[in-house]
Amino acid sequence: MPRNQQIHLDNRPQGEAVASNFKLVTTDTPALADGQVLVRNHYLSLDPYMRGRMNDAKSYAQPQPVGEVMQGGTVGEVVESRSPKFAVGDKVVGFGGWQEYSVVDASQPGSLKKVDTTHVPLSYYLGAVGMPGVTAWYGLVKIIAPKEGDTVVVSAATGAVGSAFAALAKARGCRVVGIAGGPEKCKYAVDELHFDACIDYKEHSDGKAMGKALKDACPKGIDGYFENVGGWIMDAVMLRMNAFGRIALCGMIAGYDGAPLPMAHPALILVSRLKIEGFIVSEHMEVWPEALTELGTLVATGKLRPRESVAEGIAAAPEAFLGLLKGKNFGKQLVKLI
């Protein structure tokens, strides 16, 4: 069995996450038992939610255990199988974590899924046609539920979730406005992701400036908002929300270091009769087939062309992850392992 390099959580962050919170470990891959398969991971996914799980705090999921492999999504190829469900050479998506090889119990429902790479690149199953894409779909379709002509806004607009959100919202006839960091990302959002407008939060770097930019970009107000960030950006958006507006709350990356995120205008929830709903996409597995079918079609027809930031090699994962938390990635952040 092959030697396996892994990234473990070595210790919990005290405030901001740093490289020394992680440790590179080399270990032997155990022999397979009946019903198990060995997957050579080609890509691993880096996602903002992982930062919250590094803390030992109350959340929607158990904290990442110290001294164990960092958990996360992976795509790869079956290289050995003792399960009738999978053959050597199958391309698969799973939750293999930050490591080169994964031993998977194929009898566990949902532990591993075969994917077709004929029209959709393997890496996309960690982004546009995977968990981030379904996250965008659920927030838009089930919470915001827009009508044709509605104005919808999404923060972290050029990331894996934001890019899928744009394609899905444009397909429903919405005016789509993004918020992203830097002129290059905003140009990409408009020119390639077909946002109607994109606001650079680095240029409009406080609530007042952001509020004016939102007023210009959303002259008819905002009907739906997909929130990935929180903090002062959410405060500015709420000032522009129309009556009976809907906010799909997916992430609060501005608060992942543990600092509180006070809300500046909570009375607007009442005044504007806003619906604010937090959600975790893994709790809504019933929608995944419908969502993935639409997302796969958007990719195959060229209507969704997500960008990827790719770090090379397992040892690069910690720094790439820390960069993701600071917005240094451009599109979906991946680590290529092969």
Residue 236 lies in a domain: yes
Strands (E), 35-149: 36-45, 74-81, 91-94, 101-105, 112-114
Measured CA to CA, the distance from residue 209 to residue 199 in angstroms comes to 10
C-alpha 63/C-alpha 52 separation (Å) is 8
The domain containing residue 210 runs over which residues? 131-282
Judge if 105 and 138 occupy the same domain.
no
User: In this model, does residue 145 exceed pLDDT 80?
Assistant: yes
Pairing of strands 197-200, 222-227: unpaired
DSSP assignment, residue 67? T
Per the DSSP assignment, residues forming a β-bridge with 222 are: 241
Residues 157 and 122 in one domain: no
**Whole-angstrom Cα distance, residue 284 to residue 237?**
27
pLDDT digits (tens, 9 = 90+) for 316-338: 999 999 999 998 888 899 999 99
* Residue 58 pLDDT exceeds 80: no
Q: pLDDT grade, residue 126 (50/70/90)? A: very high
121 with 249, same domain: the answer is no
Q: Per the domain annotation, does 287 fall within a domain?
A: no
- Report d(CA 168, CA 181) in Å as an integer: 22
Cα(85)–Cα(81) distance, integer angstroms: 9
State yes or no: pLDDT of 61 exceeds 90. no
Residue pLDDT, tens place only, 274-298? 999 999 999 999 999 999 999 999 9
Residue 300 forms part of a structural domain: no
- Look-up: residue for tokens 């992430």? 251
CATH number for the domain including 153? 3.40.50.720
Indicate if 135 and 202 belong to the same structural domain.
yes
The continuous run of DSSP H or E covering 82 comes out as none
Both 276 and 186 in one domain: the answer is: yes
Same domain, residue pair 144 and 85 = no
Question: Are 180 and 193 within 8 A, CB to CB?
Answer: no
Residue 293, domain member (yes or no): no
Tell whether 166 and 276 lie within a shared domain: yes
Scanning the chain, the segments in alpha helix (DSSP H) are: 49-53, 131-138, 160-171, 183-191, 207-217, 232-240, 267-271, 288-300, 317-325
292 falls within a domain: no
- What crossing angle do the helices spanning 131-138 and 160-171 adopt, rounded to 10°? 50
Shared domain check, 137 and 94: no
The residue among 311, 308, 222, 307 whose CA lies nearest residue 268 is 222
Give the torsion sign (CA, 143, 147, 148, 150): negative
| pLDDT tens-digit series, residues 67-100 | 999 999 999 999 999 999 999 999 999 999 999 9
CA-CA distance, 154 to 250, in Å (whole number)?
A: 11
User: Is residue 140, in this structure, part of any structural domain at all?
Assistant: yes
Position 255 scores a pLDDT of 77
**pLDDT for residue 327:** 86
Query: Are 209 and 312 part of one and the same domain?
Result: no
Instruction: Decide if 298 is inside a domain.
Output: no
In a domain, 39, yes or no: yes
pLDDT digits over 202-229, tens only?
Answer: 999 899 999 999 999 999 999 999 998 8
Whether residue 36 is found in the same domain as residue 167: no
As a whole number of angstroms, the distance between CA 323 and CA 329 comes to 7
Write the CATH number for 61. Answer: 3.90.180.10
Question: Picking from 106-110, 124-128, 145-149, 295-299, which range would have the lowest pLDDT averaged per residue?
Answer: 106-110
How much is the mean pLDDT over the chain? 95
Decide: 164 and 305 in contact? Cβ < 8 Å: no
In this structure, are 68 and 148 located in the same domain?
A: no
> How many structural domains compose the chain?
2
Using DSSP bridges, classify how beta strands 36-45 and 332-336 pair: parallel, antiparallel or unpaired.
antiparallel
Q: Check residue 262 and give its pLDDT.
A: 87
pLDDT of residue 256 exceeding 90: no
234 and 261: one domain?
Answer: yes
Q: What is the pLDDT at residue 253? A: 80
